[in-house]
Amino acid sequence: MLPFIVRRLFISFFVLLSATFIVYVLVASAGDPRAALQESTDPGKANKIAILTRNLSLDVPVIPRYLAWLKGALGCLIGQCDLGNTATGADVGSQLTTAMGSTLRLVLFATVTAIVLGVTVGMITALRQYSGLDYSVTFLAFLFFSLPVFWIAVLMKQFLAIKFNEWLKSPSISLAITVVVAVLVGLAAMAILGGDRRRKLLAFAGGAAAVAVILTYLNLTDWFSEPGIGVVAMIVMSAITAVACTALFADFRVRTVLYATLVTALVGVISYFALDPILADPTLLLILGLLVVALVVGASIGAGMGGLFRSQAIKACMLTAFGCSALVFSSHLLNAVPAYSAKVNGVVIATIGSSTPNFTGNFWETTLDQLGHLILPTIAIVLISLAAYTRYTRASMLEVMNADYIRTARAKGLTERTVVVRHGFRNALIPITTLMAIDFGSVIGGAIITETVFGWSGMGKLFNDALKIPDPNAVMGFFLVTGTAIVIFNMIADIAYGFLDPRIRLS
């Protein structure tokens, strides 16, 4: 494995190097930054032109300029970065560090969401091929694929942000909406669970009824004004999580795994109360630490109670622990919404910037602030990637499910669930790793656009402004970060591929 990684690093380094050369030359020759000044009637323009020339070394020809930049950039490898100055004389490096934070947040969040959602939906539609759900999802995927990001972003600003914030001031769910949503969820449940007629009808009725009850309850108790997860809801949802995780990893014939996950869920509920004081205003580090503890506790419960099914129990319990932790986290977040809303004058879902300027509040309010700003750009980017992941996963899963070894697995007498999850899903994932690498580039492109639409001061804006001048140093700074990210992501994808497919590993 190790020589493989080292060799890849080596090749990637030179690939990146060549790319920087191409980009630099293209940007440098894309125009003269002094052209606008030269045409202007500004009396101080001679001075300005001189400053510009000095900042960007415009008196030096392109190739030596590139080499000078390269020397400075290579210094990054030993910790002495010198990426030059921007047109205004600021240091590119420090500009990057301020801009990187928000963009990285956006890109990571969007990528993870797109992958998780896309793969799940793709799998489900593959297993329920040619159903109504499949057709609708396929159509939606095509639609999202054909959407211009900037256009949909503007639409979202209006409807998902402004209108939503308005609605939040006096939230109520009309009966019509309740019925429509209930029916839609019922239809989805029916399609997902499949089975014979009776099972489908039960799924529809169950799903629709559950949603109708929940929405009516939320409406009547005015939940949206003061959201939170009460004790009852906490217990119920933790139990559901436990059951779902069991269903994913084991079957219900032998109760061992189910008991283990239920115990984990119980621990989760107890800790919800027990940890209340610590979680009043935690730090990110504390949250992550608690998450690790939760996973470890879950694993130990699984190991302890798992008996003959230890490995399945551990996996199921860890996932349950993660789910319950997420519930606790969400509960605290929701509790902080009214306070946060008051601080930002009701603009819960923001449309400008990556965070409210000069905002102060506890951890939850700050997180809500970031999430509120993050949500719209993320949705915009996710929509496009989602379509690709869904289609790809669906195609891959279909191909896998038609393979001979699936037939063998069924012939061995394995449950359908085991066949799908252990044999089908695992093999279907292999080509998706390649998609992850390819898709990352388009996520970055999406980030550039959404940052422009939503006014974020991130890498996208940096790139945009810099290219209009054109300012080679700033653009190169941008490219260095994104290029490295792409290269690293590619390598992770390759390694994941090797990990998943033993045939590649040994060659």
Closest to other proteins by CB, 365 vs 439, is 439
- Report cis status (omega within 30 of 0) of the bond before 470: yes
Tokens 């009516």, residue? 216
Closest to other proteins by CB, 70 vs 438, is 438
Tokens 């999580």, residue? 241
Q: Coil, strand, or helix at residue 85?
A: strand
Q: Which of 277, 312, 315 is nearest to 299 (CA)?
A: 315
> Are 202 and 185 within 8 A, CB to CB?
no
CA separation for the pair 423, 420 (Å, rounded): 6
CA separation for the pair 355, 456 (Å, rounded): 9
CA separation for the pair 467, 340 (Å, rounded): 37
CA separation for the pair 277, 461 (Å, rounded): 41
Q: Coil, strand, or helix at residue 90?
A: coil
Closest to other proteins by CB, 82 vs 501, is 501
* The two three-digit tokens of residue 389, written as one number: 């992941």
Using CA atoms, how far residue 273 sits from 349, 406, 413, in Å, is: 29, 46, 44
Q: Coil, strand, or helix at residue 84?
A: coil
| Least separation in angstroms between CB 310 and other proteins | 8
CA separation for the pair 16, 485 (Å, rounded): 11
| Least separation in angstroms between CB 418 and other proteins | 7
CA separation for the pair 154, 148 (Å, rounded): 10
The end-to-end CA distance of the chain, in Å, is: 11
Closest to other proteins by CB, 44 vs 132, is 132
Q: Coil, strand, or helix at residue 204?
A: helix
| Least separation in angstroms between CB 4 and other proteins | 17
| Least separation in angstroms between CB 108 and other proteins | 16
Closest to other proteins by CB, 250 vs 336, is 250
Closest to other proteins by CB, 35 vs 278, is 35
Closest to other proteins by CB, 265 vs 432, is 432
Closest to other proteins by CB, 144 vs 224, is 144
Q: Coil, strand, or helix at residue 91?
A: strand
| Least separation in angstroms between CB 220 and other proteins | 33
Closest to other proteins by CB, 315 vs 423, is 423
- Report residue 105: phi and psi, to 5°: -55, -50
Cβ neighbors of 173 (< 8 A, separation 6 or more) are 215, 218, 219
| Least separation in angstroms between CB 155 and other proteins | 8
| Least separation in angstroms between CB 442 and other proteins | 7
Residues across the chain: 507
What are the strands, taking DSSP E only, across 372-426?
none
In this structure, what DSSP letter does residue 254 have? S
| Least separation in angstroms between CB 366 and other proteins | 30
| Least separation in angstroms between CB 234 and other proteins | 34
| Least separation in angstroms between CB 54 and other proteins | 23
Closest to other proteins by CB, 233 vs 414, is 414
